Amino acid sequence: MLLTELRTLKCHKKEKVKYFNKKFTSILNKFIANVTLDDSITVDYHTKALPHNIVVFVMREDKATLVENFTEDLSVEKYLVSIGALEHETREESKSTSKKA
């Protein structure tokens, strides 16, 4: 049950990565109480759950631990916000949503 929850968890485009990381850690902590997962498995689940625009950069760094992955995805998100990449996507999505309404 917890493995399925961990596997299906996704970070939505508008969701801040730090909040997603908290949800991921919360589920992982419940899981770890029963079974220990290898770091490579947890990193894989975490990476696959990230939005595409962030996961591309995180996968390039190929971090071995979840903590390193958390640090990397937060820095990538900050970078994307600083260059306006995420804000631009949000504006484009809201334009297309308002046109449909």
CA distances from 69 to 41, 50, 87 (A): 12, 11, 23
Tens digit of pLDDT for each residue in 30-89? 876 677 778 888 888 898 899 888 888 888 887 788 888 888 889 988 888 888 866 555
Which value, in Å, is the radius of gyration of the alpha carbons in the chain? 15
Q: Check residue 58 and give its pLDDT.
A: 83
Pick 28 or 85 by higher pLDDT. 28
- What is the reported pLDDT for 100? 56
Asked if residues 9 and 27 have their Cβ atoms less than 8 Å apart, the reply is: yes
